[in-house]
Amino acid sequence: MNETEPSPEGAEPGDTSAREGDRDTSAREGDRAAGGPEALTKAAASSSLAKAESSVLAGLGGVWGIVTSIIPVLVFVIVYTVTDDLRTTLISSVGAGLAVLVVSLFARRPISQSIGGLLGVLVCALVARSTGRSEDFFALGLLANVGYALALTVSILIRYPAIGIVVAALRRSGSSSEGFFDWRSDPVELRRYALVTWIWVGLFAARLIVQVPLYLAGLTTYLGTAKLVMGLPLTAVVLWMTWLIVRRPAAD
Tens of pLDDT, residues 44-66: 444 444 554 555 555 555 566 67
What is the band of 230 on the pLDDT scale with cuts at 50, 70, 90? very high
Residue 32 has pLDDT above 50, yes or no: no
Please state, for a pLDDT cut of 70, what percent of the chain lies above it.
69
Residue 33 has pLDDT above 70, yes or no: no
Q: Phi then psi for 249, rounded to 5 degrees?
A: -60, -40
* pLDDT score, position 42: 46
The mean pLDDT of 71-91, rounded to a whole number, is: 92
The mean pLDDT of 97-116, rounded to a whole number, is: 83
What is the band of 100 on the pLDDT scale with cuts at 50, 70, 90? confident
Largest CA distance in the chain: 116
Please state, for a pLDDT cut of 90, what percent of the chain lies above it.
46
**Contact (CB, 8 A) for 147 and 231:** no
Measured between alpha carbons, how far apart are the two ends of the chain, in Å?
64
**Residue extents of the structural domains in the chain:** 56-132, 133-252
pLDDT tens-digit map of 117-163: 888 899 999 999 999 999 999 999 999 999 999 999 999 999 999 99
Angle at 60 between CA 91 and CA 202, to 5 degrees: 95
In one-letter notation, the amino acid at residue 148 is Y
* pLDDT score, position 182: 86
* pLDDT score, position 65: 66
* pLDDT score, position 109: 77
* pLDDT score, position 41: 41
* pLDDT score, position 248: 64
Strongest mean pLDDT among 16-20, 31-35, 119-123, 203-207? 203-207
* pLDDT score, position 149: 97
Higher pLDDT, 34 or 75: 75
Number of Cβ within a 10 Å radius of residue 3: 5
Predicted TM-score of the model (pTM):
0.72
At 29, is the secondary structure helix, strand, or coil? helix
* pLDDT score, position 209: 97
* Torsion angle defined by CA atoms of residues 93, 97, 99 and 103, in that order, rounded to the nearest 10 degrees: 150
Residue 234 has pLDDT above 70, yes or no: yes
